[in-house]
Amino acid sequence: MKEENKILEFYKQFKKNKSALIGLYIVIVLIICALFAPFLAPADPLIQDLEQRLIPPMWAEGGSFAHILGTDDFGRDMLSRIIYGARISLMIGVISVSISLIIGTIMGASAGYYGGKVDLIVMRVVDIMLSIPAILLAIVIVSILGPDLFNAMIAIGIVGIPTFARIVRGSVLAEKEKEYVIASRVNGSSNFRLINKVILPNCATPIIVQATMGFASAVLEAAGLSFLGLGAQPPTPEWGAMLADSLQFITTASWMIVFPGIAIFLTVMGFNLVGDGLMDVLDPKMKDR
Amino acid sequence: MLLEVKNLKTEFFTDNGVITAVNDIDFSIEKGQTICIVGESGSGKSMTSLSIMGLIEEPGRVTQGEILFEGTDLLKYSQNQMRNIRGKDIAMIFQEPMSSLNPSYTVGYQIDEVLKLHQKELNKEQRRKRVVELFDEVGIPFPEDKYNEYPFKLSGGQRQRVMIAMAMACQPKLLIADEPTTALDVTIQAQVLDLMNDLKKKNGTSILFITHDLGVVAQMADIVVVMYKGCVVESASAKELFDDPRHPYTKALLNSIPVPGKVKRKSRLQTVDENVNYHDFPKEIR
Protein backbone atom coordinates (compact mmCIF):
# COMPACT_ATOMS: atom_id res chain seq x y z
CA MET A 1 0.00 0.00 0.00
CA LYS A 2 1.29 3.47 -0.87
CA GLU A 3 1.73 6.11 1.82
CA GLU A 4 -0.77 8.46 0.14
CA ASN A 5 -3.43 5.80 0.12
CA LYS A 6 -2.94 5.27 3.82
CA ILE A 7 -3.43 8.94 4.57
CA LEU A 8 -6.51 9.04 2.33
CA GLU A 9 -7.95 5.97 4.01
CA PHE A 10 -7.23 7.48 7.38
CA TYR A 11 -9.07 10.65 6.42
CA LYS A 12 -12.01 8.62 5.17
CA GLN A 13 -12.29 6.90 8.54
CA PHE A 14 -11.91 10.17 10.33
CA LYS A 15 -14.69 11.82 8.34
CA LYS A 16 -17.27 9.50 9.86
CA ASN A 17 -16.83 11.13 13.23
CA LYS A 18 -18.21 14.67 12.90
CA SER A 19 -16.82 16.12 16.12
CA ALA A 20 -13.39 14.67 15.44
CA LEU A 21 -13.49 16.27 12.00
CA ILE A 22 -14.26 19.67 13.51
CA GLY A 23 -11.31 19.13 15.85
CA LEU A 24 -9.12 18.20 12.90
CA TYR A 25 -10.08 21.39 11.04
CA ILE A 26 -9.29 23.49 14.10
CA VAL A 27 -5.91 21.81 14.39
CA ILE A 28 -5.19 22.28 10.68
CA VAL A 29 -6.08 25.99 10.88
CA LEU A 30 -3.78 26.30 13.89
CA ILE A 31 -0.93 24.60 12.09
CA ILE A 32 -1.42 26.86 9.06
CA CYS A 33 -1.44 29.92 11.33
CA ALA A 34 1.72 28.74 13.01
CA LEU A 35 3.59 27.92 9.80
CA PHE A 36 2.56 30.99 7.79
CA ALA A 37 2.21 33.54 10.60
CA PRO A 38 4.36 36.20 8.87
CA PHE A 39 2.15 36.02 5.74
CA LEU A 40 -1.19 35.82 7.51
CA ALA A 41 -0.72 38.41 10.20
CA PRO A 42 -1.71 41.92 9.07
CA ALA A 43 0.91 43.58 11.28
CA ASP A 44 4.04 42.87 13.28
CA PRO A 45 2.88 41.52 16.66
CA LEU A 46 5.59 43.40 18.53
CA ILE A 47 5.35 46.89 17.01
CA GLN A 48 3.82 49.33 19.43
CA ASP A 49 1.80 52.29 18.30
CA LEU A 50 0.58 54.22 21.29
CA GLU A 51 -1.67 56.43 19.19
CA GLN A 52 -3.63 53.37 18.17
CA ARG A 53 -3.98 51.87 21.67
CA LEU A 54 -7.14 50.11 22.89
CA ILE A 55 -9.01 50.26 19.58
CA PRO A 56 -12.05 47.94 19.73
CA PRO A 57 -12.67 45.19 17.13
CA MET A 58 -13.87 46.30 13.69
CA TRP A 59 -17.55 45.49 14.29
CA ALA A 60 -17.72 47.48 17.51
CA GLU A 61 -18.14 51.23 17.68
CA GLY A 62 -14.86 52.99 16.95
CA GLY A 63 -13.29 49.90 15.39
CA SER A 64 -11.55 49.96 12.04
CA PHE A 65 -10.70 47.48 9.32
CA ALA A 66 -7.01 48.07 9.97
CA HIS A 67 -7.28 46.19 13.25
CA ILE A 68 -9.87 43.45 12.82
CA LEU A 69 -9.73 42.28 16.42
CA GLY A 70 -8.72 45.64 17.83
CA THR A 71 -5.48 46.56 19.56
CA ASP A 72 -4.11 46.16 23.07
CA ASP A 73 -2.89 48.71 25.58
CA PHE A 74 0.33 49.25 23.63
CA GLY A 75 -1.44 49.60 20.31
CA ARG A 76 -0.34 46.16 19.04
CA ASP A 77 -2.64 44.41 16.62
CA MET A 78 -4.59 41.68 18.49
CA LEU A 79 -5.17 39.46 15.43
CA SER A 80 -1.47 39.39 14.61
CA ARG A 81 -0.58 38.58 18.18
CA ILE A 82 -3.06 35.73 18.28
CA ILE A 83 -1.79 34.32 14.98
CA TYR A 84 1.79 34.45 16.20
CA GLY A 85 0.57 33.00 19.49
CA ALA A 86 -0.47 29.84 17.65
CA ARG A 87 3.17 29.40 16.74
CA ILE A 88 4.26 29.55 20.35
CA SER A 89 1.44 27.34 21.59
CA LEU A 90 2.19 24.62 19.04
CA MET A 91 5.88 24.81 19.85
CA ILE A 92 5.07 24.41 23.53
CA GLY A 93 2.87 21.44 22.72
CA VAL A 94 5.42 19.71 20.51
CA ILE A 95 8.40 20.20 22.80
CA SER A 96 6.73 19.41 26.11
CA VAL A 97 4.78 16.43 24.75
CA SER A 98 7.99 15.08 23.21
CA ILE A 99 9.72 15.33 26.56
CA SER A 100 6.96 13.53 28.42
CA LEU A 101 6.42 11.04 25.61
CA ILE A 102 10.04 9.95 25.32
CA ILE A 103 10.86 9.79 29.02
CA GLY A 104 7.43 8.44 29.99
CA THR A 105 7.56 5.69 27.37
CA ILE A 106 11.04 4.59 28.37
CA MET A 107 10.04 4.53 32.04
CA GLY A 108 6.70 2.83 31.48
CA ALA A 109 8.00 0.26 29.02
CA SER A 110 10.90 -0.81 31.23
CA ALA A 111 8.66 -0.94 34.30
CA GLY A 112 6.07 -3.03 32.50
CA TYR A 113 8.49 -5.31 30.70
CA TYR A 114 11.04 -6.06 33.39
CA GLY A 115 8.65 -5.92 36.34
CA GLY A 116 9.99 -6.66 39.82
CA LYS A 117 12.32 -4.09 41.32
CA VAL A 118 12.46 -1.89 38.21
CA ASP A 119 8.68 -1.69 38.21
CA LEU A 120 8.57 -0.96 41.91
CA ILE A 121 11.07 1.92 41.76
CA VAL A 122 9.74 3.50 38.56
CA MET A 123 6.12 3.36 39.62
CA ARG A 124 6.81 4.81 43.08
CA VAL A 125 8.55 7.76 41.44
CA VAL A 126 5.51 8.14 39.20
CA ASP A 127 3.17 7.94 42.21
CA ILE A 128 5.10 10.67 43.98
CA MET A 129 4.92 12.90 40.91
CA LEU A 130 1.20 12.28 40.57
CA SER A 131 0.56 13.12 44.20
CA ILE A 132 1.61 16.74 43.57
CA PRO A 133 -0.94 18.81 41.62
CA ALA A 134 0.32 19.25 38.05
CA ILE A 135 0.31 23.04 37.95
CA LEU A 136 1.99 23.23 41.36
CA LEU A 137 4.72 20.85 40.25
CA ALA A 138 5.20 22.92 37.10
CA ILE A 139 5.44 26.10 39.18
CA VAL A 140 8.03 24.51 41.45
CA ILE A 141 10.12 23.33 38.49
CA VAL A 142 9.92 26.69 36.73
CA SER A 143 10.88 28.56 39.87
CA ILE A 144 13.92 26.32 40.20
CA LEU A 145 14.91 26.74 36.55
CA GLY A 146 13.92 30.38 36.30
CA PRO A 147 10.87 31.93 34.59
CA ASP A 148 11.26 31.64 30.85
CA LEU A 149 9.22 30.08 28.05
CA PHE A 150 11.67 27.27 27.37
CA ASN A 151 11.92 26.34 31.04
CA ALA A 152 8.13 26.31 31.17
CA MET A 153 8.12 23.77 28.34
CA ILE A 154 10.57 21.58 30.24
CA ALA A 155 8.44 21.87 33.37
CA ILE A 156 5.26 20.95 31.52
CA GLY A 157 7.10 18.08 29.86
CA ILE A 158 8.20 16.71 33.22
CA VAL A 159 4.70 17.11 34.64
CA GLY A 160 3.34 14.99 31.77
CA ILE A 161 5.74 12.08 32.31
CA PRO A 162 3.74 10.11 34.91
CA THR A 163 0.60 9.89 32.75
CA PHE A 164 2.58 8.48 29.85
CA ALA A 165 4.54 6.13 32.09
CA ARG A 166 1.31 4.72 33.52
CA ILE A 167 -0.41 4.29 30.18
CA VAL A 168 2.62 2.67 28.56
CA ARG A 169 3.22 0.39 31.53
CA GLY A 170 -0.40 -0.73 31.48
CA SER A 171 -0.43 -1.59 27.81
CA VAL A 172 3.01 -3.23 27.93
CA LEU A 173 1.83 -5.41 30.81
CA ALA A 174 -1.21 -6.45 28.82
CA GLU A 175 0.76 -7.08 25.62
CA LYS A 176 3.80 -8.88 26.96
CA GLU A 177 1.79 -11.92 28.04
CA LYS A 178 0.39 -12.41 24.56
CA GLU A 179 1.59 -15.39 22.61
CA TYR A 180 3.07 -13.43 19.75
CA VAL A 181 5.62 -11.99 22.17
CA ILE A 182 6.65 -15.49 23.23
CA ALA A 183 6.56 -16.52 19.57
CA SER A 184 8.93 -13.70 18.72
CA ARG A 185 11.22 -14.64 21.59
CA VAL A 186 11.15 -18.22 20.34
CA ASN A 187 12.31 -16.88 16.98
CA GLY A 188 15.35 -15.38 18.63
CA SER A 189 14.46 -11.77 19.45
CA SER A 190 16.42 -9.92 22.14
CA ASN A 191 14.78 -8.01 25.01
CA PHE A 192 15.46 -4.66 23.33
CA ARG A 193 13.95 -5.85 20.10
CA LEU A 194 10.94 -7.33 21.89
CA ILE A 195 10.16 -4.05 23.61
CA ASN A 196 10.78 -1.77 20.65
CA LYS A 197 9.64 -3.69 17.65
CA VAL A 198 7.20 -6.22 19.02
CA ILE A 199 5.43 -4.81 22.05
CA LEU A 200 5.49 -1.02 21.67
CA PRO A 201 3.90 -0.84 18.20
CA ASN A 202 0.91 -2.63 19.71
CA CYS A 203 0.71 -0.02 22.45
CA ALA A 204 0.78 2.82 19.91
CA THR A 205 -2.93 3.61 20.02
CA PRO A 206 -3.16 4.71 23.67
CA ILE A 207 0.19 6.48 23.36
CA ILE A 208 -0.85 8.49 20.30
CA VAL A 209 -4.19 9.36 21.86
CA GLN A 210 -2.53 10.44 25.08
CA ALA A 211 -0.01 12.51 23.09
CA THR A 212 -2.85 14.37 21.38
CA MET A 213 -4.72 14.96 24.61
CA GLY A 214 -1.47 15.82 26.37
CA PHE A 215 -0.89 18.43 23.68
CA ALA A 216 -4.09 20.16 24.76
CA SER A 217 -3.23 20.12 28.43
CA ALA A 218 0.31 21.30 27.67
CA VAL A 219 -1.08 24.34 25.86
CA LEU A 220 -3.41 24.99 28.76
CA GLU A 221 -0.70 24.60 31.39
CA ALA A 222 1.67 26.84 29.44
CA ALA A 223 -1.02 29.49 29.24
CA GLY A 224 -1.50 29.11 32.98
CA LEU A 225 2.21 29.46 33.71
CA SER A 226 2.47 32.47 31.42
CA PHE A 227 -0.57 33.98 33.07
CA LEU A 228 1.24 33.68 36.37
CA GLY A 229 4.28 35.33 34.83
CA LEU A 230 6.36 32.15 34.93
CA GLY A 231 6.24 31.26 31.26
CA ALA A 232 6.48 33.51 28.25
CA GLN A 233 7.79 36.95 29.14
CA PRO A 234 6.48 40.15 27.56
CA PRO A 235 6.42 41.16 24.80
CA THR A 236 6.15 37.55 23.51
CA PRO A 237 2.65 37.12 22.03
CA GLU A 238 1.73 34.12 24.14
CA TRP A 239 -1.98 33.66 24.78
CA GLY A 240 -1.68 33.15 28.54
CA ALA A 241 0.60 36.15 28.86
CA MET A 242 -1.86 38.20 26.80
CA LEU A 243 -4.59 37.25 29.23
CA ALA A 244 -2.47 38.38 32.14
CA ASP A 245 -1.74 41.72 30.46
CA SER A 246 -5.38 42.37 29.80
CA LEU A 247 -6.61 41.83 33.35
CA GLN A 248 -6.66 45.49 34.26
CA PHE A 249 -8.70 46.32 31.17
CA ILE A 250 -11.32 43.67 31.78
CA THR A 251 -14.14 46.21 32.09
CA THR A 252 -12.98 48.77 29.54
CA ALA A 253 -11.49 46.64 26.76
CA SER A 254 -13.04 43.19 27.03
CA TRP A 255 -11.80 42.12 23.57
CA MET A 256 -8.28 41.96 24.97
CA ILE A 257 -9.29 39.12 27.25
CA VAL A 258 -11.92 37.46 25.08
CA PHE A 259 -9.87 36.68 21.97
CA PRO A 260 -6.83 35.03 23.55
CA GLY A 261 -9.30 33.11 25.73
CA ILE A 262 -11.17 31.87 22.68
CA ALA A 263 -7.89 30.92 21.03
CA ILE A 264 -6.87 28.82 24.04
CA PHE A 265 -10.31 27.28 24.27
CA LEU A 266 -10.44 26.32 20.57
CA THR A 267 -6.95 24.85 20.62
CA VAL A 268 -7.58 22.71 23.67
CA MET A 269 -10.97 21.58 22.37
CA GLY A 270 -9.58 20.86 18.90
CA PHE A 271 -6.81 18.62 20.17
CA ASN A 272 -9.13 16.83 22.57
CA LEU A 273 -11.65 16.13 19.79
CA VAL A 274 -8.90 14.85 17.51
CA GLY A 275 -7.65 12.65 20.35
CA ASP A 276 -11.10 11.15 20.77
CA GLY A 277 -11.41 10.55 17.05
CA LEU A 278 -7.96 8.95 16.84
CA MET A 279 -8.92 6.49 19.52
CA ASP A 280 -11.62 5.12 17.24
CA VAL A 281 -9.69 5.22 13.99
CA LEU A 282 -6.37 3.80 15.12
CA ASP A 283 -7.67 0.40 16.15
CA PRO A 284 -6.22 -1.84 13.40
CA LYS A 285 -9.31 -4.01 13.51
CA MET A 286 -11.48 -1.08 12.44
CA LYS A 287 -9.58 -0.57 9.18
CA ASP A 288 -11.95 -2.48 6.97
CA ARG A 289 -15.21 -1.21 8.29
CA MET B 1 20.55 -38.47 18.09
CA LEU B 2 19.26 -34.93 17.62
CA LEU B 3 17.92 -34.16 21.06
CA GLU B 4 18.44 -36.01 24.30
CA VAL B 5 16.68 -34.93 27.45
CA LYS B 6 18.21 -36.49 30.53
CA ASN B 7 16.87 -36.33 34.10
CA LEU B 8 15.26 -32.98 33.39
CA LYS B 9 13.62 -31.35 36.39
CA THR B 10 11.89 -27.97 36.29
CA GLU B 11 10.68 -26.43 39.50
CA PHE B 12 8.75 -23.31 40.41
CA PHE B 13 9.71 -21.58 43.63
CA THR B 14 6.49 -19.87 44.65
CA ASP B 15 5.52 -18.24 47.91
CA ASN B 16 3.47 -21.31 48.72
CA GLY B 17 6.33 -23.74 48.31
CA VAL B 18 8.12 -25.54 45.52
CA ILE B 19 6.06 -26.92 42.68
CA THR B 20 7.70 -29.51 40.48
CA ALA B 21 6.34 -29.03 37.00
CA VAL B 22 8.67 -31.48 35.26
CA ASN B 23 10.00 -34.28 37.42
CA ASP B 24 13.07 -36.16 36.28
CA ILE B 25 12.10 -37.00 32.73
CA ASP B 26 14.11 -38.62 29.95
CA PHE B 27 13.41 -38.95 26.27
CA SER B 28 15.25 -38.55 23.03
CA ILE B 29 14.46 -37.64 19.45
CA GLU B 30 16.28 -38.91 16.42
CA LYS B 31 16.68 -37.04 13.20
CA GLY B 32 13.49 -37.07 11.16
CA GLN B 33 11.44 -38.58 13.96
CA THR B 34 8.16 -37.37 15.41
CA ILE B 35 7.73 -37.70 19.13
CA CYS B 36 4.40 -36.99 20.73
CA ILE B 37 4.12 -35.99 24.34
CA VAL B 38 0.63 -36.72 25.61
CA GLY B 39 -0.92 -36.08 28.96
CA GLU B 40 -3.72 -34.27 30.65
CA SER B 41 -3.71 -30.56 31.45
CA GLY B 42 -1.04 -29.68 33.97
CA SER B 43 1.00 -32.82 33.34
CA GLY B 44 4.05 -30.76 32.39
CA LYS B 45 3.95 -31.13 28.61
CA SER B 46 4.30 -27.46 27.81
CA MET B 47 6.80 -26.89 30.61
CA THR B 48 8.99 -29.56 29.03
CA SER B 49 9.00 -27.71 25.72
CA LEU B 50 9.63 -24.34 27.36
CA SER B 51 12.52 -25.91 29.31
CA ILE B 52 14.07 -27.07 26.05
CA MET B 53 13.73 -23.59 24.59
CA GLY B 54 15.20 -22.02 27.73
CA LEU B 55 12.09 -19.95 28.22
CA ILE B 56 11.17 -20.87 31.79
CA GLU B 57 10.49 -17.57 33.55
CA GLU B 58 10.83 -16.57 37.17
CA PRO B 59 10.03 -18.03 39.65
CA GLY B 60 10.65 -21.20 37.66
CA ARG B 61 14.03 -22.80 37.00
CA VAL B 62 15.48 -25.96 35.50
CA THR B 63 17.10 -27.47 38.55
CA GLN B 64 18.55 -30.69 37.26
CA GLY B 65 19.42 -32.60 34.14
CA GLU B 66 20.82 -32.12 30.68
CA ILE B 67 19.27 -31.13 27.37
CA LEU B 68 21.67 -32.35 24.74
CA PHE B 69 21.06 -30.85 21.33
CA GLU B 70 23.39 -32.44 18.80
CA GLY B 71 25.61 -33.40 21.72
CA THR B 72 25.89 -29.99 23.44
CA ASP B 73 24.01 -29.11 26.60
CA LEU B 74 21.56 -26.27 25.94
CA LEU B 75 21.29 -25.55 29.65
CA LYS B 76 24.93 -24.37 29.64
CA TYR B 77 24.28 -21.85 26.89
CA SER B 78 24.03 -18.14 27.67
CA GLN B 79 20.92 -16.17 26.70
CA ASN B 80 22.79 -14.82 23.68
CA GLN B 81 23.79 -18.25 22.48
CA MET B 82 20.24 -19.50 23.02
CA ARG B 83 18.91 -16.64 20.89
CA ASN B 84 20.94 -17.90 17.97
CA ILE B 85 19.52 -21.39 18.40
CA ARG B 86 15.91 -20.28 18.77
CA GLY B 87 14.18 -19.85 15.47
CA LYS B 88 17.18 -21.18 13.59
CA ASP B 89 17.82 -24.70 14.86
CA ILE B 90 14.78 -25.13 17.07
CA ALA B 91 11.51 -23.49 16.12
CA MET B 92 8.17 -23.55 17.82
CA ILE B 93 4.49 -23.36 16.93
CA PHE B 94 1.83 -22.46 19.45
CA GLN B 95 -1.70 -23.41 20.23
CA GLU B 96 -3.46 -20.13 19.52
CA PRO B 97 -2.91 -18.98 15.95
CA MET B 98 -5.14 -16.01 16.80
CA SER B 99 -2.75 -14.51 19.29
CA SER B 100 0.63 -15.82 18.19
CA LEU B 101 0.98 -13.38 15.31
CA ASN B 102 1.75 -9.74 15.98
CA PRO B 103 -1.37 -7.74 15.06
CA SER B 104 0.65 -4.63 14.14
CA TYR B 105 2.61 -6.07 11.24
CA THR B 106 1.76 -7.81 7.99
CA VAL B 107 2.35 -11.55 8.02
CA GLY B 108 4.97 -11.27 5.31
CA TYR B 109 6.92 -8.73 7.31
CA GLN B 110 6.88 -10.97 10.38
CA ILE B 111 8.48 -13.86 8.54
CA ASP B 112 10.89 -11.44 6.90
CA GLU B 113 12.00 -10.43 10.41
CA VAL B 114 12.91 -14.02 11.28
CA LEU B 115 14.96 -14.33 8.11
CA LYS B 116 16.61 -11.00 8.86
CA LEU B 117 17.65 -12.30 12.29
CA HIS B 118 19.03 -15.65 11.24
CA GLN B 119 19.91 -15.51 7.56
CA LYS B 120 21.86 -12.30 7.30
CA GLU B 121 23.34 -13.25 3.94
CA LEU B 122 19.99 -12.74 2.16
CA ASN B 123 19.17 -9.29 0.80
CA LYS B 124 15.75 -7.69 0.79
CA GLU B 125 14.53 -9.13 -2.49
CA GLN B 126 15.83 -12.61 -1.77
CA ARG B 127 14.05 -12.55 1.58
CA ARG B 128 10.81 -11.48 -0.03
CA LYS B 129 11.12 -14.24 -2.58
CA ARG B 130 11.80 -16.74 0.16
CA VAL B 131 8.74 -15.62 2.17
CA VAL B 132 6.48 -16.03 -0.86
CA GLU B 133 8.07 -19.45 -1.45
CA LEU B 134 7.34 -20.42 2.15
CA PHE B 135 3.73 -19.27 1.88
CA ASP B 136 3.37 -21.35 -1.22
CA GLU B 137 4.96 -24.34 0.50
CA VAL B 138 2.53 -24.27 3.41
CA GLY B 139 -0.41 -24.01 1.03
CA ILE B 140 -1.49 -20.42 1.45
CA PRO B 141 -3.42 -19.40 -1.67
CA PHE B 142 -2.24 -16.27 -3.55
CA PRO B 143 1.02 -16.09 -1.57
CA GLU B 144 2.08 -12.86 -3.32
CA ASP B 145 -1.03 -11.02 -2.16
CA LYS B 146 -1.03 -12.51 1.32
CA TYR B 147 2.42 -11.02 1.98
CA ASN B 148 0.85 -7.66 2.76
CA GLU B 149 -2.12 -8.91 4.77
CA TYR B 150 -2.52 -8.24 8.46
CA PRO B 151 -3.11 -11.31 10.65
CA PHE B 152 -6.67 -10.34 11.52
CA LYS B 153 -7.68 -10.74 7.89
CA LEU B 154 -6.68 -14.41 7.79
CA SER B 155 -8.69 -17.38 9.01
CA GLY B 156 -7.50 -19.55 11.91
CA GLY B 157 -6.20 -22.26 9.62
CA GLN B 158 -4.35 -19.77 7.44
CA ARG B 159 -2.79 -18.14 10.46
CA GLN B 160 -1.57 -21.51 11.67
CA ARG B 161 -0.09 -22.05 8.22
CA VAL B 162 1.66 -18.70 8.53
CA MET B 163 3.00 -19.79 11.92
CA ILE B 164 4.29 -23.00 10.35
CA ALA B 165 5.85 -21.02 7.52
CA MET B 166 7.52 -18.80 10.11
CA ALA B 167 8.77 -21.81 12.04
CA MET B 168 10.10 -23.47 8.88
CA ALA B 169 11.67 -20.23 7.58
CA CYS B 170 15.20 -21.20 8.61
CA GLN B 171 14.70 -24.94 8.10
CA PRO B 172 15.10 -25.84 11.77
CA LYS B 173 16.38 -29.23 12.82
CA LEU B 174 13.73 -29.52 15.50
CA LEU B 175 10.19 -28.20 15.43
CA ILE B 176 8.34 -28.04 18.72
CA ALA B 177 4.60 -27.94 18.19
CA ASP B 178 2.66 -27.14 21.34
CA GLU B 179 -0.91 -28.27 20.65
CA PRO B 180 -0.87 -26.63 17.22
CA THR B 181 -4.26 -27.93 16.18
CA THR B 182 -6.28 -27.64 19.37
CA ALA B 183 -7.84 -24.34 18.34
CA LEU B 184 -8.67 -25.49 14.82
CA ASP B 185 -11.71 -27.39 13.62
CA VAL B 186 -11.32 -31.00 12.56
CA THR B 187 -10.97 -30.60 8.79
CA ILE B 188 -8.42 -27.82 9.13
CA GLN B 189 -6.67 -29.87 11.79
CA ALA B 190 -6.26 -32.76 9.37
CA GLN B 191 -4.87 -30.41 6.70
CA VAL B 192 -2.40 -28.85 9.09
CA LEU B 193 -1.22 -32.26 10.32
CA ASP B 194 -0.74 -33.42 6.72
CA LEU B 195 1.21 -30.28 6.01
CA MET B 196 3.50 -30.88 8.98
CA ASN B 197 4.10 -34.47 7.89
CA ASP B 198 4.92 -33.31 4.35
CA LEU B 199 7.36 -30.68 5.57
CA LYS B 200 8.96 -33.22 7.86
CA LYS B 201 9.55 -35.60 4.96
CA LYS B 202 10.83 -32.82 2.73
CA ASN B 203 13.23 -31.15 5.13
CA GLY B 204 14.07 -34.00 7.48
CA THR B 205 12.93 -31.95 10.44
CA SER B 206 12.28 -33.75 13.71
CA ILE B 207 9.05 -32.85 15.44
CA LEU B 208 8.29 -32.73 19.12
CA PHE B 209 4.53 -32.73 19.16
CA ILE B 210 2.64 -31.85 22.30
CA THR B 211 -1.01 -32.74 22.48
CA HIS B 212 -3.74 -34.23 24.57
CA ASP B 213 -5.57 -35.56 21.57
CA LEU B 214 -4.81 -39.26 21.13
CA GLY B 215 -6.35 -39.21 17.66
CA VAL B 216 -3.66 -36.75 16.59
CA VAL B 217 -1.03 -38.94 18.22
CA ALA B 218 -2.09 -41.92 16.14
CA GLN B 219 -1.76 -39.85 12.99
CA MET B 220 1.61 -38.23 13.75
CA ALA B 221 3.78 -40.12 16.18
CA ASP B 222 6.69 -42.47 15.75
CA ILE B 223 7.28 -42.53 19.49
CA VAL B 224 4.77 -41.59 22.17
CA VAL B 225 5.73 -40.27 25.58
CA VAL B 226 2.94 -40.31 28.14
CA MET B 227 3.28 -37.78 30.94
CA TYR B 228 1.40 -37.68 34.20
CA LYS B 229 1.91 -35.05 36.90
CA GLY B 230 5.34 -34.08 35.65
CA CYS B 231 6.64 -37.61 35.18
CA VAL B 232 7.00 -39.79 32.14
CA VAL B 233 4.90 -42.86 32.90
CA GLU B 234 5.38 -44.69 29.64
CA SER B 235 7.19 -44.24 26.39
CA ALA B 236 6.83 -46.60 23.47
CA SER B 237 6.39 -46.65 19.74
CA ALA B 238 2.95 -45.49 18.68
CA LYS B 239 1.90 -48.93 17.51
CA GLU B 240 2.99 -50.62 20.73
CA LEU B 241 1.32 -48.06 22.86
CA PHE B 242 -2.04 -48.27 21.18
CA ASP B 243 -1.99 -52.07 20.83
CA ASP B 244 -0.53 -52.96 24.16
CA PRO B 245 -0.46 -50.18 26.77
CA ARG B 246 1.58 -51.29 29.78
CA HIS B 247 1.10 -48.60 32.35
CA PRO B 248 -2.28 -48.42 34.11
CA TYR B 249 -2.48 -44.68 33.49
CA THR B 250 -1.97 -45.17 29.76
CA LYS B 251 -4.66 -47.86 29.82
CA ALA B 252 -7.04 -45.55 31.65
CA LEU B 253 -6.26 -42.75 29.21
CA LEU B 254 -6.91 -44.95 26.18
CA ASN B 255 -10.09 -46.31 27.73
CA SER B 256 -11.43 -42.84 28.26
CA ILE B 257 -11.68 -42.20 24.51
CA PRO B 258 -15.33 -42.64 23.59
CA VAL B 259 -15.72 -44.90 20.57
CA PRO B 260 -18.71 -43.98 18.40
CA GLY B 261 -21.25 -46.83 18.39
CA LYS B 262 -19.79 -48.55 21.42
CA VAL B 263 -20.92 -46.06 24.02
CA LYS B 264 -24.38 -47.05 25.21
CA ARG B 265 -27.09 -44.45 25.59
CA LYS B 266 -27.32 -42.92 29.06
CA SER B 267 -24.26 -44.86 30.24
CA ARG B 268 -21.38 -42.94 31.77
CA LEU B 269 -18.22 -42.28 29.81
CA GLN B 270 -15.01 -43.85 31.09
CA THR B 271 -12.89 -41.50 33.16
CA VAL B 272 -9.33 -41.64 34.38
CA ASP B 273 -9.60 -42.70 38.01
CA GLU B 274 -7.82 -40.05 40.06
CA ASN B 275 -7.91 -42.16 43.22
CA VAL B 276 -5.21 -44.45 41.94
CA ASN B 277 -1.72 -43.25 42.69
CA TYR B 278 -0.10 -43.90 39.36
CA HIS B 279 3.29 -42.99 40.74
CA ASP B 280 3.28 -46.19 42.80
CA PHE B 281 3.82 -48.23 39.69
CA PRO B 282 7.40 -48.83 38.62
CA LYS B 283 8.69 -45.67 37.04
CA GLU B 284 8.66 -45.81 33.28
CA ILE B 285 7.67 -48.94 31.58
CA ARG B 286 9.35 -49.20 28.22
- Could you report the per-residue pLDDT of B131-160, keeping only the tens digit for each? 998 898 888 888 888 888 888 888 888 888
Q: Taking CB atoms and an 8 Å limit, are A186 and B88 in contact across chains?
A: no
ipTM above 0.95, yes or no: no
- Could you report the per-residue pLDDT of B29-78, keeping only the tens digit for each? 998 899 999 988 888 888 898 899 888 887 888 999 999 999 889 988 88
Q: State pTM to two decimals.
A: 0.79
CA distance B79 to B151: 29
pLDDT confidence of residue A289: 41
Q: Which domains does chain A have, with CATH numbers?
A: 3-286 (1.10.3720.10)
How far does A158 lie from chain B, in Å, by closest CA? Answer: 30
CA distance A109 to A173: 9
CA distance B157 to B193: 11
Considering CB atoms only, which of A178, A184, A186 is closest to B53?
A: A186
pLDDT confidence of residue A1: 47
Q: What is the mean pLDDT of chain B?
A: 86
- Residue B184 CB: number of other CB atoms within 10 A? 20
Considering only CA atoms, which of A98, A94, A54, A106 is closest in space to residue A77?
Answer: A54
Is-same-fold flag (B1-86+222-286; B88-205)? yes
pLDDT confidence of residue B276: 67
Q: Taking CB atoms and an 8 Å limit, are A188 and B114 in contact across chains?
A: yes
Q: What DSSP element (H or E) covers A138?
A: helix A134-145
Domain spanning B1-86+222-286, CATH architecture: 3-Layer(aba) Sandwich (3.40)
Map out the domains of chain B as residue ranges. 1-86+222-286, 88-205
pLDDT confidence of residue B83: 87
pLDDT confidence of residue B225: 92
Residue B3 corresponds to which amino acid?
L
| pLDDT band (50, 70, 90) for residue B279 | low
Considering CB atoms only, which of B84, B87, B118 is closest to A186?
A: B87
pLDDT confidence of residue A170: 93
- For chain A, list residues whose CB is within 8 angstroms of any CB belonging to chain B: 1, 116, 178-180, 182-190, 197-198, 201-202, 204, 284-285, 287-288
CA distance A240 to A251: 18
How far does B110 lie from chain A, in Å, by closest CA? Answer: 9
CB hemisphere CA count around B286 (13 angstroms): 3
Give B234's strand partners: B226, B285
Q: Taking CB atoms and an 8 Å limit, are B100 and A189 in contact across chains?
A: no
pLDDT confidence of residue B283: 52
pLDDT confidence of residue A140: 92
pLDDT confidence of residue B37: 92
Is residue B220 within 8 Å of residue B11, measured between CB atoms? no
Domain B88-205 has CATH 3.40.50.300: yes
- Could you report the per-residue pLDDT of B17-26, keeping only the tens digit for each? 888 888 889 8
Contacts of A116 in chain B (CB under 8 A): 58
- Could you report the per-residue pLDDT of B235-261, keeping only the tens digit for each? 888 888 888 888 888 888 888 887 777
Mean pLDDT by 10 residues, chain A (289 residues): 69 84 93 92 85 82 82 87 92 94 95 92 94 91 91 94 94 89 86 89 89 92 90 88 87 88 94 88 58
pLDDT confidence of residue B196: 87
